[in-house]
């Protein structure tokens, strides 16, 4: 039987729903079957969340991944900062919570780079709280890029077979328009191609969304589509890139199965359609909204899958948040890690066989 991968799960902001949705996800058999999990954060915060969601297992503090038990009913938690419950009040912005969230991510990345864990899954952090602690990063993606020294990276959102990657993310709309350059678009297309082929899609169909209305209407509404996107698509056509297409229809076509992924030009252009598909709100649903869809960081040496929603301070402590996105992120991270481990084993076996053939 293949060895289970080890997935490090970062707790997110302690004042939000992160700790709760991690435990709720771990109640699911399919999540537990996919990997061994260790949480990066603070044991007392996870213990508090266990009361909110009715998790009956044991919260155990571990010094590191090699100190984890990975036993049924036991959740190993690596302490990343000393905190008290009074310092991490539910639903309140706090520099302490921001620092704990940041240190949890930093430690998980370090352990992944050291080969102690095989992948990471991240619960939501609060950027304002993190900034209050002096950590001026726009989000997870940039933190991972910084600590892994990655210069070419991108964000891929996934909801089932609906996938959207971004040319830019956490910048102003003014700067996002300036970021639409041929070389950057080519880089994102290549990263998406590598990700899709790694998922087993042999000949990906990658649609490029236009920047301007109607993809510029042949220059009537701007020249960016002609001068930057058309050359980028031409250079990557052999990878399955097509377009640019009018952005008001290309996402619907992708959701219908016409494409394996869409390259969005900026944050909201890609996030809005993904969340229209994955976030389901209905006033007639007494169980509340259902939240699905995940975020995968492309280009990083550390596998990272994340929820595609925020800390939901207003729901913290109620035990009613939807854990679907967290569960999917954990399962996806486990699957990507298992695939990577299998590939390494096959390469090792192939190398060993080649060596024996020479003897």
Stretch 7-30: mean pLDDT: 96
The pLDDT, as a whole number, for residue 205 is 97
Reply yes or no on whether the pLDDT at 170 is more than 80: yes
192-218 pLDDT per residue, tens: 999 898 888 989 999 999 999 998 888
The pLDDT, as a whole number, for residue 284 is 55
Average pLDDT of the chain is: 90
The pLDDT, as a whole number, for residue 304 is 95
**235 — pLDDT class (breaks 50, 70, 90):** very high
Stretch 114-119: mean pLDDT: 96
Reply yes or no on whether the pLDDT at 188 is more than 70: yes
Q: Give the percent of the chain with pLDDT over 90.
A: 76
Reply yes or no on whether the pLDDT at 359 is more than 90: no
134-160 pLDDT per residue, tens: 999 988 989 999 999 999 999 899 888
Q: What structural domains does the chain harbor?
A: 1-150+300-347 (3.40.718.10), 159-290 (3.40.718.10)
The pLDDT, as a whole number, for residue 200 is 83
Stretch 31-36: mean pLDDT: 96
73-101 pLDDT per residue, tens: 999 999 999 999 999 999 999 999 999 99
The pLDDT, as a whole number, for residue 219 is 85
304-358 pLDDT per residue, tens: 999 988 899 999 999 989 898 899 999 999 988 987 777 666 666 665 555 555 5
The pLDDT, as a whole number, for residue 285 is 55
Q: How many CB atoms lie within 10 A of CB 138?
A: 13
The pLDDT, as a whole number, for residue 277 is 83
Reply yes or no on whether the pLDDT at 292 is more than 70: no
The pLDDT, as a whole number, for residue 353 is 55
Q: Give the percent of the chain with pLDDT over 70.
A: 90
Residue recorded with tokens 């486990």: 334
The pLDDT, as a whole number, for residue 1 is 46
The pLDDT, as a whole number, for residue 156 is 92
């Amino acid at each position: 039987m293949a060895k289970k991968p080890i997935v490090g799960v970062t707790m997110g902001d302690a004042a939000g729903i992160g700790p709760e949705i991690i435990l709720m996800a771990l109640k699911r058999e399919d999540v537990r079957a996919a990997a061994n999990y260790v949480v990066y954060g603070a044991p007392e915060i996870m213990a508090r969340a266990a009361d909110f969601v009715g998790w009956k297992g044991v919260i155990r503090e571990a010094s590191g991944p090699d100190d984890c038990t990975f036993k049924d009913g036991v959740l190993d938690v690596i302490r990343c900062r000393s905190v008290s419950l009074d310092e991490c009040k539910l639903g309140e912005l706090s520099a302490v919570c921001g620092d704990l969230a940041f240190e949890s991510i930093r430690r998980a990345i370090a352990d992944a780079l050291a080969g102690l864990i095989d992948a990471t899954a991240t619960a939501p952090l609060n950027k304002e709280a993190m900034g209050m602690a002096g950590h001026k990063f726009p989000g997870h993606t940039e933190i991972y890029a910084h600590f892994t020294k990655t210069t070419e990276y991108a964000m891929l959102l996934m909801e089932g077979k609906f996938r959207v990657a971004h040319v830019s993310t956490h910048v102003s709309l003014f700067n996002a328009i300036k970021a639409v350059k041929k070389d950057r678009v080519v880089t994102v297309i290549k990263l998406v191609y590598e990700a899709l082929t790694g998922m087993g899609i042999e000949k990906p169909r990658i649609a490029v969304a236009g920047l301007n209305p109607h993809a510029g209407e042949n220059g009537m509404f701007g020249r960016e589509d002609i001068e930057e996107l058309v050359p980028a698509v031409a250079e990557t056509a052999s990878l399955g890139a097509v377009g640019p297409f009018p952005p008001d229809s290309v996402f619907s076509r992708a959701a219908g199965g016409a494409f394996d992924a869409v390259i969005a030009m900026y944050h909201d252009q890609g996030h809005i359609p993904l969340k229209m598909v994955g976030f389901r709100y209905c006033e007639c649903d007494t169980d509340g909204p259902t939240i699905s869809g995940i975020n995968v960081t492309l280009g990083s040496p550390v596998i990272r899958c994340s929820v595609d929603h925020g800390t939901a301070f207003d729901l913290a402590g109620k035990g009613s948040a939807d854990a679907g996105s967290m569960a999917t992120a954990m399962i996806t991270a486990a699957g990507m890690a298992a695939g990577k481990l299998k590939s390494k084993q096959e390469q090792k076996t192939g190398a060993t066989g080649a060596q024996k053939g020479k003897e």
